[in-house]
Structure 1
Amino acid sequence: MNTATARYAGNLRTEATHTASGNTILTDAPVDNHGRGEAFSPTDLVSAALGSCMMTIMGIVAERLNVDLTNATYDVTKHMAAEPRRIRQIDVQFQLPATLSSKERATLENAARTCPVALSLNPEIRQEVQFEYVG
């Protein structure tokens, strides 16, 4: 079974439907590349996918460690290169509970850095990942 089905909706927009769930994602070209910037751009989705994958893998590991990461947050910032137009760097800043032990922190940080998306991105895309322990 395919992962998604998508269609070009016109005006530099696409609509992708996740086959298993029926959920949809709209994309729009960014303002700096002829679009309206009214939805995620495809490169925004790549960047968001990196943060989401890292958090998901940390969540899997946290369950195994009996650690609750509920309400942990992260911010993602994408940096583009002009020639050729491509993602040159993705910054991910996690805010995790201060109550984590040093061993838990090291285990979770390693899990994030070795998530499938992080390992799948072209090595020329710099991944700057920071962990802040708050609360």
Structure 2
Amino acid sequence: MMTAPTATARYEGQLRTEATHVASGTIIQTDAPVDNHGRGEAFSPTDLVGTALGTCILTTMAIVAERHDIELKGSTVQVKKTMSQDAPRRIAQLNVDLQLPASLSESDRTLLERVAHTCPVALSLHPEIRQEIRFVYE
């Protein structure tokens, strides 16, 4: 049984692609990074991996937060990607900094921090990619 693709992408030239989310029609563009022959004018494919991790953590935490009547609206995430220095070129580390409400109770913090480490993207990444997740309550 064939299922519809999640996304399609087309090479646009000059190391750029345009990807379309099939269900919604949302379009994103990628560009090779400056340190790999590109212009760095859009997300690189590896930037999207880091972004996927950060947004997956926030989304998964929000799903659990809704179940427990915990408000996370306005929480943010910053992701820093570090590429390997040796061949083959790959993501070596992803640092994820989450800014969450200071008003969260100790038990809510414990719950959400556990959930953050078990989001589907975090569990799908190769174990050699170091994932450093930091929680800041402000």
State the TM bucket, normalised to the shorter chain: over 0.9
Quick check: 77-86 or 36-45, which moved more?
77-86
Secondary structure, aligned partner of 2:43: coil
Instruction: For 2:28, give the aligned amino acid.
Output: I
Structure 1 residues 111-126: aligned runs within 5 Å: 111-126=115-130
Give the alignment partner of residue 49 of structure 1, picking from 38, 48, 52.
Answer: 52
Q: CA deviation at 1:13?
A: 0.4
1:79 alignment counterpart: 82
1:20 and 1:120 mapped to 2: Cα distance? 22
Secondary structure, aligned partner of 1:14: strand
Cα deviations by residue, 1:53-105 (Å, 9 ceiling, x for unpaired): 00000000110110111100111000000322100000000010011111100
Q: Tell me, which stretches of 5 or more residues in structure 1 are unaligned?
A: none
Q: CA deviation at 1:121?
A: 0.1
Structure 1 residues 54-133: aligned runs within 5 Å: 54-82=57-85, 83-133=87-137
Q: Tell me, which stretches of 5 or more residues in structure 2 are unaligned?
A: none
Instruction: For 1:90, give the aligned amino acid.
Output: L
2:38 alignment counterpart: 35
Q: CA RMSD in A?
A: 0.5
Give the fraction of aligned pairs with identical amino acids, expressed as a percent: 64
1:2 and 1:75 mapped to 2: Cα distance? 29
In the alignment of these two chains, the number of paired residues is 134
1:75 and 1:108 mapped to 2: Cα distance? 17
Instruction: For 1:55, give the aligned amino acid.
Output: L
Secondary structure, aligned partner of 2:72: coil
1:9 alignment counterpart: 12
Q: CA deviation at 1:48?
A: 0.5
1:106 and 1:123 mapped to 2: Cα distance? 23
Q: CA deviation at 1:38?
A: 0.1
Q: CA deviation at 1:25?
A: 0.8
Q: Which runs of 4+ in 1 moved over 6 A?
A: none
User: Is 1:18 aligned with 2:21?
Assistant: yes
